[in-house]
Amino acid sequence: MHSWVDLIVAHYNYWIYILLMMIGLYAMVAKRNLVKKIIGMSIFQTAIILFYVSIGAKRGATIPIIEHHGHGPINPEHYINPLPHVLMLTAIVVSVATLGVALALGIRIYQRFGTLEEDEILSQLRREQ
């Protein structure tokens, strides 16, 4: 019993990211409205960002900016892992840009079909064939 509580508490960052990822994937797979799918994609990206940033954390460490350089060697345990932050820094801005492209595609689809519901678009496409 005690080990279960330990497992949940020590890994709680993973449980949150798994939950967010499941919400995002469900929205992308099961929702029929394209805007809801785009929202699901955004939640999915947020889950990935949370996962990366949380694996960079170290207990008792500070942000990765070296202060007081020149007073002896730098101990890596005093600074959190900078690499996930670098990767996610670019990923956040790229995700905003790709979200813009997704919304632009949504606008074009709405202009062409007059709806954003997937089943209505598909039935219109079948009628045209």
Q: How far apart are CA 37 and CA 6, in angstroms?
A: 36
Name the minimum Å distance from CB 84 to other proteins. 7
Contacts (CB under 8 A) with other proteins, residues 98-117:
98, 100-101, 103-105, 107-108, 111
Q: At what angle do helices 2-10 and 12-30 cross, to 10 degrees?
A: 70
Q: Under a CB-based contact definition with an 8 Å cutoff, are residues 47 and 20 in contact?
A: yes
Q: How far apart are CA 38 and CA 26, in angstroms?
A: 12
Nearest to 44 by CA among 27, 66, 68: 27
Instruction: Determine which residue in the list 35, 62, 94, 122 makes contact with other proteins, applying CB under 8 A.
Output: 94
Q: x/- contact string, 17-46, with other proteins (CB under 8 A)? A: -xx-xx--xx--xx-x--------------
Q: How far apart are CA 79 and CA 62, in angstroms?
A: 5
Instruction: By CB under 8 A, tell whether 69 contacts other proteins.
Output: yes
Give me the residues that bind other proteins (CB under 8 A), please.
Answer: 7, 10-15, 18-19, 21-22, 25-26, 29-30, 32, 54-61, 63-67, 69, 73-74, 76-77, 79, 81-86, 89-90, 92-94, 96-98, 100-101, 103-105, 107-108, 111
